[in-house]
Amino acid sequence: MTTAAATTIKARQRPGDRIFSSATVISGSLILAMLAAVAIFLLVESLPAFVAGPDDFSGDVTNFWSYVGPLVFGTIYSAVLALLMAVPVALGIALFISHFAPRKLAQGLGYLIDLLAAVPSVVFGLWGIGVLAPLVQPFYTTIVDWFGWFTPLAGPASGTGRTIFTVSIVLAVMILPIITAICREIFLQTPLLHEEAALALGATRWEMIRMAVLPFGLPGIISASMLGLGRALGETMAVAMVLSPSPEVIFQLLTAQNSNTIAANIALNFPEAHGVGVNILLATGLVLFIVTLLVNMLARVIINSRKAFSGAN
């Protein structure tokens, strides 16, 4: 096609096409502008926190970095534990729905998973503090008695069950629907020819899934996991309601004192914050923003390195 012909076609473009094209450009630009606006706002409001003195912090904290360090640790610690619990279960549910369950049962389970994703976080928090924590507390005591020599499981065990491990269980339940739904759709998109070829070569159902379905869906699994991790990193109400926080780096999972998370710390302290205290909380929000951004960038790097197994090929 010559340049003149392309120019003529572009000139004859329908008004609806021009409106749609402009709308998509504006929408994409708006997302970038909003992201930049949030980043600039957090950065500007955080500057006083970076130079704040010991008098602006409570306890033995002397500067911002010693204040935010335990919060970053607690945020990542609880989110990673939740991810380790949720991903295997989500993969099992997704594979069952997509390759094992009868059609009607698979549809019903799919609806239930989608419904679970719509439950508000405050309901999960109430369930965690009212049902889960008392239920698991006796198990924590037994685990400490048996495996207390292992640092993460050292005691004394919490008497209420409100530990960072309980929070991780709640977070795992919360991110389970997201990971399951995405993995289910990815597995259903596996080329039928690949599955039939594996079965024709004598593979069992599990071998077919291992050789055809999982390699095809690996980028989607990573994307779903990172999306769930992002949800766990930013969760506020459920963590604030269940966790018994402490401004320290604590590796023990079952004790009464636990490292707090950034989001829960902001929610608990913002109503009473004033002056530089507000800037300090916004600065911790900036740190959470950066952590989430780094997680997404890491996921993108991993996915790009696995392009050979993506559905586009």
95-145: pLDDT as tens digits: 998 888 888 888 888 888 888 888 888 898 899 888 998 998 889 888 888
Q: Which residues of 274-313 are buried (b: 16+ CB within 10 A; e: fewer)?
A: eebbebbbbbbbbbbbebbeebeeebeeebeeeeeeeeee
Q: For the residues 184-209, what does the mean pLDDT come to?
A: 85
Q: Give CA–CA dist 241/247, Å, rounded.
A: 16
Q: Does the pLDDT at position 312 exceed 50?
A: no
Which residue(s) pair with 246 in the sheet? 259
Q: Does the pLDDT at position 79 exceed 60?
A: yes
**pLDDT-wise least confident of 47-56, 142-151, 255-264:** 47-56
- At 309 the pLDDT is 46
- At 237 the pLDDT is 84
Exposure of 50 in the CB half-sphere (CA atoms within 13 A):
10
- At 3 the pLDDT is 59
List the domain boundaries for the chain.
23-52+60-306
Question: How far apart, in Å, do the first and last CA atoms of the chain sit?
Answer: 28
Q: Does the pLDDT at position 313 exceed 50?
A: no
Which residue(s) pair with 259 in the sheet? 246
Q: Give CA–CA dist 108/114, Å, rounded.
A: 10
* The model's pTM: 0.85
Helix and strand totals (H; E) in the chain: 13, 2
Two tokens at 309? 């197994």
Q: Which fold has domain 23-52+60-306?
A: MetI-like fold (1.10.3720)
Which residue(s) pair with 258 in the sheet? 245
Q: Give CA–CA dist 112/119, Å, rounded.
A: 11
Among residues of the chain, what percentage have pLDDT more than 70?
93
Two tokens at 159? 């008497």
Q: For the residues 270-296, what does the mean pLDDT come to?
A: 86
Taking only the tens place, the pLDDT of each residue in 13-63 is: 677 778 888 888 888 889 889 988 988 998 888 888 888 777 777 767 778
**Residue 155 φ/ψ, nearest 5 degrees:** -95, -170
Instruction: Name residue 160's amino acid.
Output: T
